[in-house]
Chain A
Amino acid sequence: MKAKSPAYPYLAWMIIFIVAPLLIVAYFAFTDKTGAFTLANISQAGQFSPVLLKSVYLAAIATVICLIIAYPLAYILSRTKVRTQRMLVMLVMLPMWMNFLLRTYAWMTILENNGILNRFFGLFGLGPFEMINTQGAVVLGMVYNYLPFMILPLYSIMEKIDGSVIEAAQDLGCSSMGVMRKVVLPLSVPGITSGITMVFVPAVSTFIISKMLGGGGNLLIGDIIDLQFLGLDYNPHLGSAISLVLMVLILLCMSIFNQFDNEEAVLL
């Protein structure tokens, strides 16, 4: 079993379909229509910085909300009986099998001015509240769609925390808050970091949720990229430049984040 050869087909595949396309994106980002080198695209991409910031901001809010909702849930899950646990984890994963466009579309039905929720409030003489076509609706869409991606890594880490460790802490006089802070939280850090990554990256680059729930006037950076390629005009140069900026930004965020992660580990 000391043969590298089985990997060769994949290596070829990887170079052609993973590495080469990214190089092409970089090539387009730094050239103009005639193929000459230019920095104009990158600086033009800078004009979208407010959109980029807005995307980061909304995605960050969505990530934090996901974490707040998912953390207790994952903890509760990991402490229930094994059989119920399996069942519940399955129920967390099940919605992901439903196409996300349809689920988002269903949210439109719920949030609209004449939607289900407003009708419900109407029964009590409340509202109608303006919920659809707002940034709040976009954040809700992100939270809803990516919540399972936060729950699952958190759960799989917490499930591994030995119950006896918690019991030991309790025996040694820790309050339940203390158990949470001193035992569960530190041990679940890897789950938190991977959960945040799995929610933040797709949320920051989403390009349909904002269109459907945000009313088309709250476009995010993903929508801008889409507009450059298949929406408004075919401008792969600008589109590639924005994509490149987004990629660098995300990789940068991730590297900072991973350092933070290590830091935390050092502290332990």
Chain B
Amino acid sequence: MKKLSKLYLGIVFFFLYAPILVLIVFSFNQSKSRSVWTGFTLDWYVKLFHNEVILNSLWTTLSIALIAGVVSTILGTAAAVGISSMRRGPRRLVINTTYLPIMNPEILTGVSLMLLFSFLAIPRGYLTLVIAHITFCVPYVILSVLPKLRQMDRFVYEAALDLGCSPRKAFFKAVVPQIMPGIMTGFLMALTYSIDDFVISYFVSGSSAQTLPITIYSMTRRRVSPEINALSTILFLAVLTVLLLINVKDAKIWKERRKKEAARL
């Protein structure tokens, strides 16, 4: 049974990683071909750092993700606090509406925002991208902060008020630390979704600003330059390293906690 499940895990992970392996391997391929191996080179990595289009769209992607992440975290956290103190009826209405961008197909969100922007005569570009990204990021923040607010110990806030804190100070000193994990999860989810989004960006991006997925899309329609493979390889390794570091750090914390528990016993 053990062997069987290991084999199964292996097969599924092979399925998940085979295309990525192909991408990485062909980032070192000498020719532009994506199916014939002609020899090892690092040229594409060098060229990548001279390709203005790719670097610009990478920059656009990252800056939009950061702006959208921060704004939607602030907006969403405030909203979650407000929503949690609403009466049941309005609260359900607001939460259900918030679910809409998550439940709806992305293409619908994209199309509807595109129509809105052309209705309001806002030229499609950086601004519309930022607005669209905030719009689909906020729900994730709200939905990850709300449960934390529900679990939160309300008395801490009231105690802070009783001890003479202003409501604002009490909020930042007593509430925020308690819901911080939810805020952080929301922020990270917003970042991830923003960086990865293609469908919605496709409909709201214009001539002046393109995110990386849009650039990649226009490339897939003829030939994807191996420079993109090179960039993906770098990004992939970067994410892998970050996740590994987090994992190792967590594992350390875990070990220490266990030791302490063991000592206590």
- The answer to whether A and B touch directly, with their CB atoms under 8 angstroms apart, is yes
Chain A residues at the B interface, C-beta cutoff of 8 Å? 1-11, 13-14, 16-22, 24-25, 28, 69, 72-73, 76, 82-83, 86-88, 90-92, 94-110, 112, 114-116, 144, 147-148, 197, 201-202, 204-205, 207-208, 212, 222, 225-226, 229-230, 236, 239-240, 243, 246-247, 250-251, 254
A99 to B81, CA, bound (A): 34
Give the contact stretch, choosing among B7-15, B42-50, B62-70.
B7-15
Which chain A positions have C-beta within 8 A of B116? 16-17, 20-21, 24
Contact A205 B108 (CB under 8 A): yes
Residue-wise, chain B 69-106 has the 8 Å CB interface mask toward A (1 for contact) of 00000011011111101100000001001101101111
Which chain B positions have C-beta within 8 A of A112? 35
A207 to B17, CA, bound (A): 23
Contact A1 B81 (CB under 8 A): yes
Contact A8 B212 (CB under 8 A): no
Which chain A positions have C-beta within 8 A of B251? 83, 86
A100 to B16, CA, bound (A): 12
Q: List 16 A-B contacts (CB under 8 A).
A: A3-B85, A13-B134, A17-B116, A17-B132, A22-B100, A24-B119, A25-B115, A86-B250, A87-B247, A88-B9, A92-B16, A95-B20, A97-B192, A105-B34, A110-B18, A243-B107
Which chain B positions have C-beta within 8 A of A243? 107-108, 111-112
Contact A105 B220 (CB under 8 A): yes
A28 to B247, CA, bound (A): 50
Residue of A nearest to B115 (CB): A24
B157 CB, nearest partner CB in chain A, Å: 5
Which chain B positions have C-beta within 8 A of A147? 15-16
Main secondary structure of the interface of A (DSSP, over half): helix
A82 to B16, CA, bound (A): 22
Contact B115 A19 (CB under 8 A): no
Which chain A positions have C-beta within 8 A of B97? 14, 18-19
Which chain B positions have C-beta within 8 A of A92? 16
Residue of A nearest to B113 (CB): A21
Main secondary structure of the interface of B (DSSP, over half): helix
The answer to the question of B165 belonging to the interface, with a C-beta cut-off of 8 Å to chain A, is no
A245 to B186, CA, bound (A): 31
Contact B112 A22 (CB under 8 A): yes
Contact B19 A2 (CB under 8 A): no
Can you name 17 extra interface pairs (CB under 8 A) apart from A18-B135, A24-B115, A109-B26?
A: A13-B134, A17-B113, A21-B112, A25-B115, A76-B8, A98-B236, A99-B216, A102-B229, A103-B23, A105-B224, A108-B34, A109-B19, A204-B105, A222-B107, A243-B107, A247-B104, A247-B105
Contact B105 A101 (CB under 8 A): no
The answer to the question of B5 belonging to the interface, with a C-beta cut-off of 8 Å to chain A, is yes
* 8 Å CB contact of B112 from A24, A99, A106, A108: A24
The answer to the question of B159 belonging to the interface, with a C-beta cut-off of 8 Å to chain A, is no
Contact A99 B232 (CB under 8 A): yes
Residue of A nearest to B83 (CB): A7
Given known contacts A13-B138, A92-B16, A97-B192, A239 and B111 CB-to-CB distance under 8 angstroms: yes
A168 to B183, CA, bound (A): 38
* 8 Å CB contact of B20 from A90, A98, A246, A251: A98
Which chain B positions have C-beta within 8 A of A250? 103-105
Residue of A nearest to B109 (CB): A21
The answer to the question of B175 belonging to the interface, with a C-beta cut-off of 8 Å to chain A, is yes
Which chain A positions have C-beta within 8 A of B101? 18
B153 CB, nearest partner CB in chain A, Å: 11
Residue of B112, B132, B203 most packed against chain A (CB within 10 A): B112
User: Which 5 A-B residue pairings sit nearest by Cβ, starting from the closest?
Assistant: A7-B82, A205-B105, A10-B79, A21-B112, A106-B19
A204 to B17, CA, bound (A): 24
Residue-wise, chain B 225-236 has the 8 Å CB interface mask toward A (1 for contact) of 000110010011
